[in-house]
Amino acid sequence: MKDFKSSTVYQIYPKSFLDTNGDGLGELQGVIDKLDYLKELGVDYLWLTPFFVSPQNDNGYDVADYREIDPRYGTMADFDDLVREADARGIRLMLDMVFNHTSTQHRWFQKALAGDPVYKDYYIFRKGKPDGGPPTNWESKFGGNAWEYVPAFDEYYLHLFDKTQADLNWENPAVRREVQDIVRFWMDKGVKGFRFDVINLISKGEFTDDNEGDGRRFYTDGPRIHEFLKELNRESFGRDAEIITVGEMSSTSMENCCDYAGADSGELSMVFSFHHLKVDFMGNEKWVLVPADFLKLKNILFSWQQGMAAHNAWNAVFWCNHDHPRVVSRFGDEGIYWKESAKMLASVIHCLRGTPYIYQGEELGMTNAHFTDLSQYRDVESFNHFQILRDKGMSESAAYEILKVHSRDNSRTPMQWDERENAGFTAGTPWISVNPNYRNINAQSQVGDPDSIFSYYQALIRLRKEHPVLAQGDFEPLDQEHPSVLAYRRDWQEESLLCINNFYRKPCRWNCPVPLEGYRVILSNYPDGEPNNPMELRPYESLILLRDGGSSK
């Protein structure tokens, strides 16, 4: 039985991972083909984003059939092969389940539109206001109002995301039973992990106007959310002690996450929270260009580390996923210190208390795409917000600069395997352009190179298995107000670990508040890192120090 605390999860966006049939789209056979690569990296679980039947209006997060593989990704036989071949390499699968909403092409919604009252109650339909306008002023997370009018009913249905993603009515017990049955279906297929998309939005509260915001306070961490998750646990994945779960928590609170992922809460194994990835936003506004607030980043990371630990709850720790730009472009350096900054950022995450998640290509230091034309983008959110920015009077060039930094398509460009055309991703035309830097950044050039970013990730994954302090240790921030250094300490029984990182390209001197006697360097992104005090930290320098002989607190 795998211990999720000492495990590492690797996220695969199948559409962009590897195309084996030349149609420009990655598929399940592409994942099978690269299992040896993933075994060599050392990961324990593969989280695959949705590959179910879908019209792909939101790249698969608009599911039209939860029990069928979309033909563009392969067949159920391919999936069965993937489970079997991954298991033979000691790797397990984690599926991405989208249960806040379905595609409007799902048979449930189509029956609802046909007037079937049973299925109409699977969704959230409401009469408009007396003036005929939407029931509330809530905003979709993709822009615009969150209600779509259906003339046949003279009613609106709720869609917190795209209008083709209708929110399910979890107040209906029949909906909850459907969801439980879907989870059990995939359990029977050998799946040992589930990631639940925006799961903390499933319990809606009061349907009323939000005069202070966009409506999220009425549906985020709603009144019955813990009840619903406990029931889902009890009726499905909780029946198999080997299954791990992670909830994607949108705009959540630590208080709720302590319950979602508490060791004895009976809900989920761990949670994703995103507050640390809003430090280059303006408030909650993503579509702006502002510098990242480093002290805010530290305070958020450290407070979540301490707060969750105090309640025996578990974090999923990460920088990247399919919804966020590449971290080396965001907080690191794409130029002369590309390798050093990518390794430093990896150290920060992998030494934290929590299960680390790697997004495909992160282990190679893949960067943002730097697209220059709207025709290169594929993401519905990017299209919507580009138009919103233009409608507000922003110039086209300024709107493009924002997309270059914040678009989700930055993380969705094809995996860079080698120097061949299209980075070895496809022999055809890729569904989205390959990053032009693939000849310099690719897996072939890094695997086997002891100085590569790939090798550094291998080492971090190995350290988590070899040293219980990383999986079990306490967390203590060090010099929290320092303007350049992100450092912390982990302690467990006889082991003490220090993770020390210069977050910037400017060298700095740092006085470690912990006596360094007995500590040795177990990993560094410079070949001659030394545990001196004071430390002269070079650009983006990272030091991981270990002492085996007890604590000196």
Question: DSSP per residue over 484-522, as a string?
Answer: SEEEEEEEETTEEEEEEEE-SSS-EEE--SS--TT-EEE
Query: Is 465 within the bounds of a domain?
Result: no
Give domain status of residue 2, yes or no.
Answer: no
Looking at the fold, whether 414 and 402 belong to one and the same domain comes out as no
Tokens 């921030």 sit at which residue?
Answer: 477
Of residues 529, 531, 520, the one with CA closest to residue 496: 520
Same domain, 120 and 269: no
Domain assignment of residue 392, yes or no: yes
Residue written as token pair 């048979």 = 107
CATH code, 119? 3.90.400.10
pLDDT of amino acid 552: 40
- DSSP calls for 47-77: EEPP-EE---TTTT-S-SEEEEE-TTT--HH
Q: Which of 365, 329, 332 is nearest to 451 (CA)?
A: 365
The pair of three-digit structure tokens given for residue 180, joined into one six-digit string = 């439980």
pLDDT at res. 553: 36
Residue 335 CA to residue 282 CA, distance in Å, equals: 26
72-87 per-position pLDDT tens digit: 999 999 999 999 999 9
Rg of the chain in Å (alpha carbons): 23
**How many domains is the chain partitioned into structurally?**
4
Rounded CA gap, 221 and 298, in Å? 25
What integer is the mean pLDDT of 463-482? 97
Q: Are 315 and 353 in contact (CB under 8 A)?
A: yes
What CATH number did the domain enclosing 506 receive? 2.60.40.1180
In a shared domain, residues 234 and 287:
yes
* 382, 162 Cβ separation under 8 angstroms: no
Supply the pLDDT for residue 380.
84
Instruction: In whole angstroms, give the CA distance from residue 168 to residue 199.
Output: 11
144 and 281 within one domain? no
- Give domain status of residue 397, yes or no: yes
Residue 142: pLDDT band (50, 70, 90) is: confident
Q: Which residues share a beta bridge with 475?
A: 490
User: 425, 460, 495: which is the final residue of a domain?
Assistant: 460
In a domain, 248, yes or no: yes
Over residues 28-51, the mean pLDDT reads 98
Tokens for 510, please give them.
């740092």
Average pLDDT over residues 158-164: 97
- The percentage of residues in the chain with a pLDDT greater than 70, rounded to a whole number, is 99
Give the C-alpha separation, 403 to 395, whole Å.
13
Whether 241 is in a domain gets the answer yes
Is residue 32 a contact partner of residue 75, using CB atoms and an 8 Å limit?
no
What confidence score (pLDDT) does residue 98 get?
98
Is residue 160 in some structural domain?
yes
User: Which residue of the set 27, 58, 62, 248 is catalytic?
Assistant: 248
Q: Which helix H or strand E contains 96, and what residues bound it? A: strand 92-97
Phi-psi region of 442 (alpha: psi -120 to 50; beta: other; left: phi over 0): beta
- Which residues are within 8 A (CB) of 450 and not within 5 positions of it... i.e. 6 or more apart? none
The closest of 469, 444, 506 to 40, measured between CA atoms, is: 444
pLDDT of 1 reads 65
Q: Are 542 and 485 in contact (CB under 8 A)?
A: no
Do 453 and 347 meet the contact criterion of CB atoms below 8 Å apart? no
Round to whole Å and give the CA distance between 171 and 486. Answer: 44
Beta carbons within 10 angstroms of residue 483's beta carbon = 10
pLDDT tens readout for residues 251-297: 999 999 999 999 999 999 999 999 999 999 988 789 898 999 999 99
Interacting residues of 434 by C-beta distance below 8 A, sequence separation 6+: 413, 414, 416, 422, 423, 425
Per annotation, catalytic residue among 19, 62, 197, 363: 197
pLDDT of amino acid 112: 98
Does pLDDT of 550 surpass 60?
no
pLDDT at 551: 40
Sign of CA dihedral 126, 128, 134, 135: negative
Query: Is 197 a catalytic site residue?
Result: yes
Element (H, E) at 471: helix 468-472
> Is pLDDT above 60 for 64?
yes
Same domain? 239 vs 313: yes
Q: Is 248 a catalytic residue?
A: yes
Please check whether residues 24 and 46 belong to one and the same domain: yes
Do 298 and 206 have their domain in common? Answer: yes
Each residue's pLDDT tens digit, 475-496: 999 999 999 999 999 999 999 9
Judge if 130 and 252 occupy the same domain.
no
Instruction: Tell me the per-residue pLDDT of 288-314, one tens digit each, with 9 for 90 and over.
Output: 989 999 999 999 999 999 999 999 999
181 and 317 in a single domain? The answer is: yes
For 393-416, write each residue's pLDDT tens digit.
999 899 989 999 999 999 999 999
The percent of residues above 90 in pLDDT, for the chain, comes to 93
Residue with tokens 């997370």: 141
Residues 238 and 127 in one domain: no
pLDDT at 528 over 80: yes
Q: Do residues 396 and 322 both lie within one domain?
A: no
For residue 304, the enclosing domain spans: 9-102+173-368+409-460
pTM: 0.95
Q: Are residues 386 and 527 in the same domain?
A: no
Q: Beta partners for 285?
A: 282
Please check whether residue 4 lies inside any domain of the structure.
no
Q: Distance between CA 498 and CA 516 in Å, rounded?
A: 9
**Burial zone of 337 (CB within 10 Å; 0-12 exposed, 13-18 middle, 19+ buried):** buried
pLDDT tens across 339-365, in order? 999 999 999 999 999 999 999 999 999
Distance (Å, whole) CA 493 – CA 165: 49
Q: In the structure, what pLDDT confidence band is assigned to residue 539 with cuts at 50, 70 and 90? A: very high
Where a domain ends, among 116, 142, 167? 167
For residue 313, the one-letter residue type is A
